[in-house]
């Protein structure tokens, strides 16, 4: 049984998600706005969090930022808006999925279960600390240091770097990166991958060239 937090100001939507989630064997907690959701996350841990974007007091984006300060639970964002900007901004914050309203409760549950499976798989991974000259990547601690200085990455930048390193010296297409890191058929183009790679390189400083661009293919981490 997984603990799910559903934050949405529409009681009917919370009720529908609760019904389907409990039918799938999950335990559901509810929050009518973003601020209550943040406070609940400060008091207890959840296995997955479903956030509506348009909520009073704290919107979904603001709530997500605050929640990520206290726990790294996977997040699925709900929105009545399907604009590309909203989706890209959400993924930059480290969300795991984005679903546009109105949505199918069955599809939502399928995505919830898929995200939970990926999260569990990451948790079962063997601890590993990798060093490449002055670049140290501590996968279980989710930390990266460059010449002894710790660098701060977004959750998805960590996921991207760990995936590249664990598949080092292997050519990885953008489609492969989208599929394996985000875990489902991506909604749009490849720009999110390129943006994450650019930011990642900037954070790696003198070791930026270890992430090699393969023209017409994608990227690889060169050990």
pTM of the model: 0.60
The set of residues, in sequence order, having a beta carbon less than 8 Å from that of 59 and lying 6+ positions away, is: 34, 53
Least confident of 38-42, 85-89, 187-191, 197-201: 187-191
Calpha distance 116→125 (Å, rounded): 14
Q: How confident is the model at residue 127 (pLDDT cuts 50, 70, 90)?
A: very low
Task: Tell me which of 18 and 185 has the higher pLDDT.
Answer: 18
Q: Is the pLDDT of residue 108 over 90?
A: yes
* Contact present, 26 and 3 (Cβ < 8 Å): yes
What confidence tier does 39 reach under pLDDT thresholds 50, 70, 90?
A: very high
Helix (H) or strand (E) holding 23: helix 11-23
Contact 7, 29 (CB under 8 A): no
The Cβ of residue 30 has, within 10 Å, a number of other Cβ atoms equal to 17
Lowest-pLDDT range, 16-30, 65-79, 161-175, 180-194?
180-194
Q: How far is CA 19 from CA 6, 15, 26, 69, in A?
A: 12, 6, 10, 30
Asked whether residue 6 carries a pLDDT value surpassing 90, the answer given is yes
DSSP 209: G
CA pseudo-torsion sign 26, 31, 33, 38:
negative
Average pLDDT over residues 130-152: 90
Average pLDDT, rounded, for the chain:
88
DSSP character for 216? Answer: T
Domain ranges of the chain: 3-123, 126-221
Alpha helices in 51-104 (DSSP H): 60-70, 84-93
Query: What tokens does 56 get?
Result: 């009073």
State yes or no: pLDDT of 184 exceeds 70: no
H-helix or E-strand spanning residue 120: helix 105-124
Q: Which tokens go with 126?
A: 């063997």
Is the pLDDT at 62 greater than 60? The verdict is yes
Task: Quote the tokens at residue 83.
Answer: 């604009």
* Domain 3-123, CATH class in plain words: alpha beta
Residues 82-88: contacts with CB under 8 Å, at least 24 apart:
84/188, 86/53, 87/187, 87/188, 88/191, 88/192, 88/195
Contacting residues for 70 by C-beta, under 8 A, at least 6 apart: 41, 42
pLDDT at residue 149 above 90?
yes
The tens digit of pLDDT for each residue in 69-86 reads: 888 889 999 988 777 778
| CATH code of the region 126-221 | 1.10.10.10
Residue 220 pLDDT greater than 50, yes or no: yes
Find the mean pLDDT for residues 27-41: 95
pLDDT exceeds 70 at position 9: yes
Residues 163-181: pLDDT tens digits?
899 888 889 998 888 877 8
């Amino acid at each position: 049984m997984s603990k799910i937090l559903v934050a949405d100001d529409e009681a009917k939507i919370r009720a529908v998600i609760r019904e389907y989630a409990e039918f799938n064997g999950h335990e559901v907690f509810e929050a009518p706005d973003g601020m209550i959701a943040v406070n609940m996350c400060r008091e207890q841990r959840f296995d997955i969090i479903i956030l509506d974007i348009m909520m009073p007091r704290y919107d979904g984006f603001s709530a997500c930022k605050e929640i990520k300060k206290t726990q790294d639970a996977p997040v699925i964002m709900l929105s009545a808006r399907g604009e590309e900007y909203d989706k890209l901004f959400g993924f930059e914050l480290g969300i795991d999925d984005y679903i546009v309203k109105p949505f199918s409760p069955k599809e939502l549950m399928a995505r919830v279960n898929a995200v939970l499976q990926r999260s569990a798989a990451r948790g079962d991974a063997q601890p590993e600390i990798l060093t490449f000259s002055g670049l140290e990547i501590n996968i279980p601690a989710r930390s990266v240091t460059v010449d002894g200085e710790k660098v701060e990455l977004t959750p998805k930048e960590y996921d991207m770097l760990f995936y590249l390193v664990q598949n080092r010296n292997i050519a990885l297409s953008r489609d492969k990166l989208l599929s394996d890191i985000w875990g489902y058929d991506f909604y749009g183009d490849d720009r999110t991958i390129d943006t994450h790679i650019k930011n990642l390189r900037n954070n790696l400083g003198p070791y930026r060239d270890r992430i090699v661009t393969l023209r017409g293919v994608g990227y690889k981490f060169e050990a």
